[in-house]
Amino acid sequence: MDSDSTIFSQLMNFVPRYEFRKCVERYNGNYKVKSFSCWDQFLCMMFAQLTFRESLRDIEACLRVIQPKLYHMGFRGKVSRNTLAHANQVRDWRIYADFAQVLIGIARPMYASESFGVELEQSAYALDSTTIDLCLSLFPWAKFRTGKSGIKMHTVLDLYGNIPSIILITNANIHDVNTLDLIIFEPGALYIMDRGYLDFARLYGIQESSAFFIIRAKSNFCFNRRYSHPVDKTTGLRSDQTIVLKGFYAKKNYPEKLRRIRYYDADTKKYLTFLTNNFSLPAITITELYRCRWQIELFFKWIKQHLRIKTFLGTSSNAVKTQIWIAISVYVLVAIVKKQLKSELNLYTILQILSVSLFEKIPIYQALTPSNFEKQDNSFCNQLSLFN
């Protein structure tokens, strides 16, 4: 990297500009745009995410202070809050959604060999959603409940590296199970879900796609047992059964056999019941895989705490989705930089370092290299001790 350029410029060198231009051209993003292009908008929003700016006025004030440096950082248009607000409102959010998918496609192979605690030969994904609360008076298009608005971010998280594979943004009143109709399931992969996704017709769709699922059963679940398999109860397992569904509609929706595993969690002192269509993995591995589903909860917590997706820079649906997708791009870009620079720092530390050093003119790998200072041995120092 060139040490004469700012860290922000070096960071943007990791962004595939050709792929970004393809996304812009796909939706005519720069149609009739004279000065403030989609790339300028992207840079402004990336800057806001990386430096934790809370408003359009914050972005304008900070970037105008460093006006002489903006050209060398990639900005070509004049930055103003009205121009940025208008761009967020009218530029198609699908530009940034498609580009985030491009970055995800780059990042996932980098983390394909990462371990998440369970040794598997196939891909493993966790499905869940998180609700982002909004003010009803400012976001009436996202009405959720009486006096409340909100949107949902439905996510399929690749457990190898915690990189999101699929993200869908909907109104908060869309039930989680409906997203199963929109997902193309990878043959041979494992999908781990909470019981909010329990719908036997949709689960049978996963079975028909030659994929596997692991899901918690509800307490009123009815079935007929066909076989019982031996289990080691010292591991917490209580039963491992082959079952068929009981009931006209349930049996019609899922006519195949299922595997029912009952497990006692000593930490929470609760009995958990899992359903899966995978009959080859050991029962204890199934329970360990479901425990790994917690990674998606940690992912939601991380992006809500460290990225700007709770306070929005616009009130339209387009502005909100644009900001969320650019925030996801920041998360994935930081993950790419971490791998390409072979940094030992975690994503949070890298994000914090970048937030205070974007305008420094030092190599980015130097900024992201932990400094190790050896403690000097003063046992043979000639300096007298004051407290002996």
> According to the model, what pLDDT value does residue 383 have?
46
pLDDT of 380 above 60:
no
Domain ranges of the chain: 7-95+315-367
> According to the model, what pLDDT value does residue 1 have?
45
Who's near 316: CB < 8 A, 6+ residues apart? 88, 89, 141
d(CA 155, CA 259): 26
| Torsional sign, CA 222, 227, 229, 234 | positive
> According to the model, what pLDDT value does residue 190 have?
96
> According to the model, what pLDDT value does residue 171 have?
92
Mean pLDDT (the chain, rounded) = 89
> According to the model, what pLDDT value does residue 371 have?
63
Closest CA to 112 of 368, 335, 369, 328: 335
pLDDT of 299 above 80:
yes
pLDDT per position as a tens digit, 59-112: 888 888 888 778 777 788 788 889 999 999 999 999 999 999 999 999 999 998
Lowest mean pLDDT among 21-35, 56-70, 236-250, 349-363: 56-70
**CB burial of residue 310 (10 Å; 0-12, 13-18, 19+):** exposed
pLDDT higher for 264 or 34? 264
**Rounded to 5 degrees, what are φ and ψ at 315?**
-110, -5
> According to the model, what pLDDT value does residue 384 have?
43
> According to the model, what pLDDT value does residue 373 have?
37
CA atoms within a 13 Å half-sphere pointing along the CA-CB vector of 125: 24
pLDDT higher for 74 or 11? 11
Query: If pLDDT is split at 50, 70 and 90, which confidence band does 208 have?
Result: very high
> According to the model, what pLDDT value does residue 375 have?
44
Query: If pLDDT is split at 50, 70 and 90, which confidence band does 219 have?
Result: confident
Place of tokens 């994929």: 211
**CB burial of residue 195 (10 Å; 0-12, 13-18, 19+):** middle
d(CA 155, CA 126): 8
Closest CA to 203 of 147, 257, 247, 161: 257
Q: What percent of the chain has pLDDT over 90?
A: 64
pLDDT of 388 above 80:
no
d(CA 10, CA 367): 11
204-220 average pLDDT score: 93
Decide if 114 contacts 160 (C-beta within 8 A).
Answer: yes
Query: If pLDDT is split at 50, 70 and 90, which confidence band does 374 have?
Result: very low
pLDDT per position as a tens digit, 105-146: 999 999 988 888 888 888 999 999 999 999 989 999 998 888
> According to the model, what pLDDT value does residue 2 have?
57
295-323 average pLDDT score: 92
**Rounded to 5 degrees, what are φ and ψ at 237?**
-70, 140
> According to the model, what pLDDT value does residue 360 have?
87
216, 262, 279 from 271: Cα distances, Å: 11, 7, 21
Who's near 195: CB < 8 A, 6+ residues apart? 215, 216, 217, 218
